[in-house]
Amino acid sequence: MSYKKFISEKRLRKSTSEREKNLIIETESDKARIIFSAPFRRLQKKAQVFPLEQNAAVRSRLTHSLEVSTIGRQISQKIVRKIESLSHEEKEAFVNIVESACLLHDIGNPPFGHFGEAAISKWFKNAGNGCYAHHKNEHPDWYSDLEKFEGNAQGLRIITKLQSEDDYGLNLTCSAICAYLKYTYPEHERKKQEENPSTKKNGYFLSESTKIQGAWKKLRIPPHNRHPLNFVMEAADDIAYCLSDIEDGIEKKLTTIDELIAHIKSELKKGENAMANDAWIEILTHASKEKMPTNKFISIRTNLINRSTTIAAEHYIKREDDILKFRFSESLIDERSAEYIILNIIRKFVSEKVYTAREAEILELAGDSAISGILEKFKPLLDLPKSSFDALLEKDRKIIKSLNLDIEKRLLNLIPKQCIKTYNHEKDSPLEWYYRAHLIIDYISGMTDDFALEIYQKLSGIRVL
């Protein structure tokens, strides 16, 4: 099967440019649009594991995303070398699309990561009274989006809507948009599907349904199927995050390299997997030549990345036909491989030693309070009838004064104009309140960890300057 429909320069917005379309240039342009965007820059102040971290050696979402893109590039290069049917242009574009998907994969994360997601979901679940309850009863499918907020879905909203003057966001190629989308169902539909990786989480909000449907149509991808290159992005993230998180744990002195090595050795002995044990002995033998603990970990990390990217590329080539025909739903890192077994042991070790560290948990709890607190402070904007909210948007002083909307006026003034522009594109709808809720969420999810805490403190009167 040809890659031509999957590797494309097509975009959702019709081009007014007369320049000749070049696949390499267009997919390179995607990477530039992402890297130069404000949401991508803000990832430098969003935590990978440790919110509000002062140690620059510990990863942020930005450094993690760059590492994922590097690993994604490695896997892609190993794949395209083996696919003779691809032209030089298509091979370059294949790698570019994967890199873009990797750079984008965390772009929708709110402050404080998964705790931020949970805080937004919980707040809307508990806000089931008054205006919200009325709208929820009328349109339950749409409001399930709010009660199951997901950073991946918010990411699609950012790249297809929030980052431009019109309603096309970054206007990336449809290939980049689809390669980004790991979960392919909206919340109200996903639970009706058979269990598979594509239904694990809310993939996109119904507000972006027409955008992703349009991208699938342009690439002739049957709805709710993953783009073939999305599996490469997923593998790159899986390789990167457990290795980076354990390295950060070592940097934070929550564990040591010797403790990690001893744990892996012990777990491999329990599993009695000769292949994985032999691979680990080989990795460790190479690393033992290093005298410094830091260099020893770098050797282990580099060796595991090289091995894992090779396994992922080989698995992709082996299952290429199934992937291109949408019959594949596994990880590219074969679960029977030695590399998967070792990475999985590390992943579980990270869960025990790093994610549950007291420092990380306290900061996550603080993040939950901050996000919930900000939503509570902005609740007056959600309690207003549409006519009163329109008066605020239009800065109608007479109505604002007569209705005593001074607090609401100041709250609205805090929201960036870009978020309001997106709301204005969507507000003339029976679902206006849903879009108004997204207006607040768009503002909050775009905050960095430190800014969210600062805004919460200021709105609560805890901090003035």
Q: Establish whether 134 is a catalytic residue.
A: no
Is 410 known to be catalytic?
yes
CA atoms within 13 A on the CB side of 129: 4
Annotated active-site residue 64? The verdict is yes
Listed in sequence order, the residues at least 6 apart from 389 whose beta carbon sits closer than 8 Å to its beta carbon are: 381, 436
Six-digit token string for 51 = 């919110």
Instruction: Give the type of residue at 245.
Output: D
Residue type at 372? S
Given 19, 88, 410, 428, the catalytic residue: 410
From the candidates 30, 73, 106, 438, which is the catalytic residue?
106
Q: How would you class 157 by CB atoms within 10 Å of its CB: exposed for 0-12, middle for 13-18, buried for 19 or more?
A: buried
Please indicate whether residue 428 is annotated as part of the active site.
no
Residue of 11, 59, 64, 157 marked active site: 64
CB under 8 Å to 46, separation ≥6 — which residues?
Answer: 60, 61, 62, 106, 109, 111, 113, 448, 449
Q: Is 145 a catalytic residue?
A: no
φ, ψ (nearest 5 deg) of residue 11: -125, 165
Q: For residues 132 and 104, is the Cβ–Cβ distance under 8 A?
A: no
Q: Which of 33, 42, 105, 438 is catalytic?
A: 105
> Residue 427 half-sphere exposure, CB side, CA atoms within 13 Å?
14
Query: How far is the CA of 86 from the CAs of 71, 89, 206, 327, in angstroms?
Result: 21, 8, 35, 21
Q: Which residue is catalytic, options 30, 145, 237, 442?
A: 237
Q: Which residues are catalytic?
A: 64, 105-106, 237, 410
